[in-house]
Structure 1
């Protein structure tokens, strides 16, 4: 309880200034990045900053038209950039498409310096499903990024072989919902028709969102344990959104639940009065980009000490609830169980 209240306070109020921004990031010429969900919100700002520093950025998005609009907008903002922006079709809610996405990227590139698993869905309409019929948040926030990351491990490993230690990275999308929205132990399971455990999506869309964010924390740590040292790739978890305004929104509008202290496209379903009041509590979305940039590019982070690290706004080392940390440490804990479940479910699509 005390940790949860502390995390809520420390990640929501009187935040220190970001330590890594477009003003002090070095030139990124020759670097290749994939930013999922880069057509809007935080991902858009991450892509824009990297492009302004001459990087080659793949804009992972489901809609080509929206990605093309975002690319044109970023290029207009930074006309002197010597970098490149490329559209990469990515539909995380349909597992049958992700292998094609990974193969297309590897046909076009021989290196990948940072995979930023930024994209996700938050509190969709009740009953929303992915293409394979599972809860939309589980498919988009857990299984999709898991499969994409696993398929891109070979190119990440090859890149790490010729780059400074700890500079090739994968970042996973966390949230204060890791602490505030997930059940004890992080996951909720049920027995499927064949008797094998599967994630339980019957607890409602808000709890499912919390589970999906705890899952990202677990997967960041499990990939780090299983592949980090072997491949020379650092995995970490960045807190993209803050949930300070959840309680106010819940009181004022029971049908709107939209975590985040960041102005972004996530507020599109919020009613006018609530949105005007909540806007007073929000930071510009670019601040979320600073958290991600710290995860992906900060030279403070090291392979030895920061594998699986949970990163708070706007780029700080942080911790999560002890019950979740305990599950990461256990050989047969919830983190390991989740990884095996993801591996089993996505096997036919790999």
Structure 2
């Protein structure tokens, strides 16, 4: 329980915005970058001269965020760039056009933050394809987006600084996921339990991170990590406003949780040797992820259960028609 306690009440961060290296010429894509944690990531990268794409549904919200960030420092002092990229994670049919638009503007992608998410929407909420909404937005949309962006991630020179994919999970995984992480029958036939479905989707993010590492880490030298950014007061709770009041002693400012994701995305501590790791607040590589979850990330021939690979195959099946 001590490991969980330290995530509820993390120690003072050893990685801060001051530790972000210069980002001249580097390209970043943040889903859900117009508000909350994603906004704070974009702001920090901009001040280090990164080229940042804020990907989301609403151009007006993104442009407001861009204007606000640009006002933090005079343009004469900043070499960074902020752009909007239209993205609807709940519509698999639209994601290919998003990637095609990105490729018109950029040839490479240094870091992809799969940061956007939804938590406990009304029962029965579904994507444009009729898929349970949390599974669609938190897993299937990011999975397809990452697969289609793979050539851009591969275009980064790994001998200089490997490209990275950050999959955002939640502490709820360690606290509430069933033994083995996922019950695949629940994934294929979602129960009418919004909280369980949220946990399942965030467990899926951990499995996608570890399975991406297994498939592309050694051969392509792309870093793939999952993280619990930490409990932050953001619009993630828009469907459950009571949570903000009940859990307020455990909620931190979004800029604190952003440090976790920034650490995952740009810290020099996250090396190829740490590929596939799980990162906890406010930028620490976990040494205590549940043993059954570590086992689920391994193939049967490696002494594991292969559940992560099974979930990856499920995601491939669900997105195959949209490539």
TM over 0.5: yes
The reply on whether 1:323 has 2:313 as its aligned counterpart is no
- In the alignment, the residues of structure 2 paired with residue 270 and residue 208 of structure 1 have an alpha-carbon distance, to the nearest angstrom, of 14
How far is the alpha carbon of 1:153 from its aligned partner?
A: 0.8
How far is the alpha carbon of 1:333 from its aligned partner?
A: 1.3
- In the alignment, the residues of structure 1 paired with residue 132 and residue 270 of structure 2 have an alpha-carbon distance, to the nearest angstrom, of 34
- In the alignment, the residues of structure 2 paired with residue 269 and residue 345 of structure 1 have an alpha-carbon distance, to the nearest angstrom, of 26
**Which residue is equivalent to 1:76?**
71
How far is the alpha carbon of 1:17 from its aligned partner?
A: 1.8
TM-score, structure 2 as length reference = 0.93
- In the alignment, the residues of structure 1 paired with residue 308 and residue 241 of structure 2 have an alpha-carbon distance, to the nearest angstrom, of 37
- In the alignment, the residues of structure 2 paired with residue 310 and residue 18 of structure 1 have an alpha-carbon distance, to the nearest angstrom, of 16
Alpha carbons 1:46, 1:293 under 8 Å: kept: yes
Q: Secondary structure at the match of 1:85?
A: strand
How far is the alpha carbon of 1:330 from its aligned partner?
A: 2.1
- Unpaired runs of 5+ residues, structure 2, are none
How far is the alpha carbon of 1:269 from its aligned partner?
A: 5.2
- 2:181 paired residue among 172, 182, 186: 186
Q: Cα–Cα, structure 1 residues 147 and 271, in superposed 2: closer, same or farther, change >3 Å?
A: closer
How far is the alpha carbon of 1:213 from its aligned partner?
A: 0.8
For 1:147-190, what per-residue CA distance to the aligned partner results, in whole angstroms no more than 9, with x for missing partners?
001111111111135x525x311110111111122222121223
**Which residue is equivalent to 2:266?**
297
- In the alignment, the residues of structure 1 paired with residue 172 and residue 185 of structure 2 have an alpha-carbon distance, to the nearest angstrom, of 22
Q: Secondary structure at the match of 1:60?
A: strand
Q: Secondary structure at the match of 1:160?
A: coil
**Which residue is equivalent to 1:88?**
85
Matches within 5 A, 1:7-86: 7-13=3-9, 15-79=10-74, 80-86=77-83
Q: Secondary structure at the match of 2:166?
A: strand
- Unpaired runs of 5+ residues, structure 1, are 192-197, 242-259
- 1:337 paired residue among 306, 310, 321: 310
TM-score, structure 1 as length reference = 0.86
- 1:307 paired residue among 275, 299, 310: 275
How far is the alpha carbon of 1:81 from its aligned partner?
A: 1.6
**Which residue is equivalent to 1:210?**
199
**Which residue is equivalent to 1:158?**
155
